[in-house]
Amino acid sequence: MTVGILRVGSPALREVAALVANVDDPVVVREAAALGAAIHAFRAEHGFGRAIAAPQIGIAKRMIGLAMPGWPDVIVNPEIVWASNERMTLWDDCMCFPEMLVRVERFASISVRFTDMAGKAHLKEALSRAEAELMQHEIDHLDGKLSFDRAVGENAFVHRRVFETNRSAFAAQVDYFPQS
């Protein structure tokens, strides 16, 4: 296990993560702590990042570390149990390729069932666009998928420097623009 973020091209990013059987397992507890350390280090270096899936740091388990108000620090075995009919396009960024953004299409809202590190089951229903796109992105990581797999439209990839120099033009190309 590493606390560094794996980069695009790493075979481990394409593996489907295993269910977490026991949140009290000392290995799982250490891995949960590693998720928290990784997200905070990444945010300090790059200035963005609300969540990190365990496979992004080489842990092949269904765990997501979060830095979001109203959510546990780590959730395990998340699953989408409802998705809206409405879809949205947005520019997706990822810790595995922080210098790029990818235009993707996602559900505008979802409901997610998960367990926290205390073993308590939760259901978060009809998530906002910001939470819905993030959970879909992180659950994709647990299923071995990257934003590149969901790219839509022409010129769906952009370097962050280009994106930052003309944010309004890129905002006009999508339905939802969380970078504002």
| β-sheet bridge partners, residue 166 | none
Do the annotations mark residue 40 as ligand-binding?
Answer: no
Any catalytic annotation for residue 138? yes
Q: Quick one: how far is CA 126 from the chain centroid?
A: 17
User: For residues 6 and 58, is the Cβ–Cβ distance under 8 A?
Assistant: yes
Do the annotations mark residue 94 as ligand-binding?
Answer: yes
Please identify which residue in the block is written with the tokens 């235009």: 103
Rounded Cα gap, residues 156 and 143, in angstroms: 22
Q: Could you tell me which of 72, 108, 74, 75 has the C-alpha nearest to residue 89?
A: 108
Q: Is 110 helix (H, G, I), strand (E, B) or coil?
A: strand
User: For residues 175 and 90, is the Cβ–Cβ distance under 8 A?
Assistant: yes
Rounded Cα gap, residues 10 and 13, in angstroms: 6
Do the annotations mark residue 46 as ligand-binding?
Answer: no
From the candidates 31, 131, 133, 138, give the one annotated as an active-site residue.
Answer: 138
| Residue 124 CB contacts under 8 Å (≥ 6 apart), including other chains | 71, 111, 112, 114, 131
Q: Which residues are annotated as a binding site?
A: 94, 137, 141
List, by residue number, the catalytic residues. 138
Q: Which residues are annotated as a binding site for Fe cation?
A: 94, 137, 141
